[in-house]
Chains A and B, each alone.
Chain A
């Protein structure tokens, strides 16, 4: 099989959510001498982009988005060890967390996976993360973006608490803040001083890319 055929087949395995196929093809492609960087950037990443388009059109749902990300991870496990050098330059750094009192991680994890696939370095603090820990992570890692998630109405105010703490620590101007969660509204985001409320994972990731790609980016 030619390199182009391998690249096309790998891409298709992501779109088709084919766990077994992606691993088999990734192994065969590497054995056939396909450039691992090409396999990722010209095949698997575009495959995820197609999944994203299908999601936006309503042909695919969250379940397919999650499974596609997992299929891609399986493929990456095979291919990544063959990448020489430092690989591509990171697009930007993101600290992400589900706020204190909230253990929901589905949305946060999807955003994390999609950000990493886009080339971001993501420091995922996990769920039920105290305000002080988030502030500590922003101080330590100096990300260009802070992402916060909350599903519960009860835990939403914690996001405002974090933004207040960022201001108190004179860090608010250094980091963009994006928030997400079912109960979050644009009004709420505005009321706590967040920069953006993600409509869904894909839209949120697009906003992050836009921020770091625009002139005068903060990282």
Chain B
């Protein structure tokens, strides 16, 4: 097979077509740059880059922001004042936040929300007002620019926010102390009413994404079956994916969802979704579903596999073993990409070890090919 570009490889595999080797790329939001990264990219590694297709305008809401001292901590305090009331949220921002990509600190941690927007039942109507007064406006410049810059090096994804109920669970109500679950049990009507309002307000955003120049529409859902149990997933997530997929597919776009948690308990429900790509799926020890099992469970989906951070912490030998075991688990290697983080805990040695395994992962994978890769690395 003719050598493909990194972009062709990722896109063809994502469309369930045959490719020359296992697509391997790192994610812009979790990537290092430097000599080892350059070497890895020269050898085989591509890039996935996520940028938004829209900007938002919030009407009739005053937003004020200031740094405050609270309980001995400096927090970034944002107040949203609406005609129906006021809500606020506080964040702690570690050094480095805002000084490089993705609002991440030098340790790759996004701001910690120490006070969520929704604390009490009366906050729901205020947040609903904000939601209903949020306008989504197409702005394709970031995507066009990224595509232009990347060229054949990789793919560009449109970033969509967490699903409506996930927005409540992990952003606005929060899971600290189980607060979302308690609100969902105590104030079900308020939770569901706001969830529906979010879903409705975002419909124009789905259209904007679907018509954008992005290759893939990516929902940063952060699904973990321990938090999002099957009952919640079936009731609140499936219908939203169906709505999104109808819009995306009409415009020829692939729909992806970020699921880097333990999703074994959701396996059968995920199979029922119209999602095209399960992104950042992590095999054990971080996740609880092997990639081989996932491929069998989801015959019409493509998996972008993540590499567990806890393996990286064990060093290059563990990294090599995990990569080889992964290849053995996915023979012949179809409907698959390897999308990894290369930041912080990923040493240059780890990255180059991983590259040495994957640059030789020609498809279709066979046990003999993988044995040869292993032998070559031991020389």
Smallest Cβ-Cβ distance to A103: which chain B residue = B112
CA distance A208 to B81 in the complex (A): 48
Smallest Cβ-Cβ distance to A67: which chain B residue = B185
Given contacts A62-B226, A66-B181, A67-B181, contact A185 B176 (CB under 8 A): no
Interface residue A17 (Cβ < 8 Å from any Cβ of B): yes
* Contacting pair B310 A188 (CB below 8 A): yes
CA distance A63 to B178 in the complex (A): 7
Interface residue B345 (Cβ < 8 Å from any Cβ of A): yes
Q: How many residues of A contact B (CB 8 A)?
A: 27
CA distance A191 to B361 in the complex (A): 31
* Contacting pair B344 A154 (CB below 8 A): yes
Residue numbers in A under 8 Å from B308 (CB-CB): 153, 183
**Stretch from B132-140, B202-210, B227-235, B331-339 at the A interface:** B227-235
Residues of chain A in range 153-169 having any CB-CB distance to chain B below 8 Å: 153-154, 156-157
* Contacting pair A62 B107 (CB below 8 A): no
Choose among B178, B186, B229, B313 the residue that contacts A156 (Cβ–Cβ < 8 A).
Answer: B313
Q: Least Cβ distance of A179 to chain B in Å?
A: 13
Choose among A58, A105, A183 the residue that contacts B285 (Cβ–Cβ < 8 A).
Answer: A183
* Contacting pair A63 B181 (CB below 8 A): yes
* Contacting pair B345 A154 (CB below 8 A): yes
Given contacts A62-B226, A63-B181, A105-B176, contact A182 B262 (CB under 8 A): yes
Interface residue B314 (Cβ < 8 Å from any Cβ of A): yes
* Contacting pair A106 B178 (CB below 8 A): yes
* Contacting pair B177 A185 (CB below 8 A): no
Interface residue A187 (Cβ < 8 Å from any Cβ of B): yes
* Contacting pair A154 B229 (CB below 8 A): no
Q: Least Cβ distance of A24 to chain B in Å?
A: 15
Q: How many residues of B contact A (CB 8 A)?
A: 35
Q: Least Cβ distance of A2 to chain B in Å?
A: 30
Residue numbers in B under 8 Å from A152 (CB-CB): 109
* Contacting pair A67 B178 (CB below 8 A): yes
Choose among B176, B184, B262 the residue that contacts A63 (Cβ–Cβ < 8 A).
Answer: B184
CA distance A187 to B308 in the complex (A): 14
Q: Mark A158-198, 1 if CB is under 8 A from B, else 0.
A: 00000000000000000000000011110110000000000
Interface residue A61 (Cβ < 8 Å from any Cβ of B): yes
Residue numbers in B under 8 Å from A61 (CB-CB): 226, 229-231, 265
CA distance A58 to B226 in the complex (A): 11
Residue numbers in A under 8 Å from B182 (CB-CB): 66-67, 70
* Contacting pair A66 B178 (CB below 8 A): yes
Given contacts A63-B229, A105-B176, A106-B175, contact A154 B181 (CB under 8 A): no
Smallest Cβ-Cβ distance to A184: which chain B residue = B310
Residue numbers in B under 8 Å from A185 (CB-CB): 285, 310
Smallest Cβ-Cβ distance to B227: which chain A residue = A62
Residue numbers in A under 8 Å from B312 (CB-CB): 153
CA distance A40 to B186 in the complex (A): 23
* Contacting pair A153 B345 (CB below 8 A): yes
* Contacting pair A154 B107 (CB below 8 A): yes
Identify the B interface with A (CB < 8 A).
92, 107-109, 112, 114, 175-178, 181-182, 184-186, 224, 226-227, 229-232, 261-262, 265, 285-286, 308-310, 312-314, 344-345
Q: Give 18 A-B pairs besides A61-B231, A110-B178 with Cβ atoms closer than 8 angstroms.
A: A19-B185, A58-B265, A62-B178, A62-B227, A63-B178, A63-B184, A66-B182, A67-B181, A70-B185, A101-B107, A105-B176, A106-B178, A106-B227, A154-B109, A154-B309, A182-B286, A183-B286, A188-B310
Identify the A interface with B (CB < 8 A).
17, 19, 58, 61-63, 66-67, 69-70, 101, 103, 105-106, 109-110, 152-154, 156-157, 182-185, 187-188
Could you show 5 A-B contacts with beta carbons less than 8 Å apart?
A58-B265, A62-B226, A103-B114, A153-B308, A182-B261
Which 6 residue pairs of A and B lie closest in terms of their CB atoms, listed nearest first? A153-B309, A66-B178, A61-B229, A63-B181, A185-B285, A67-B185
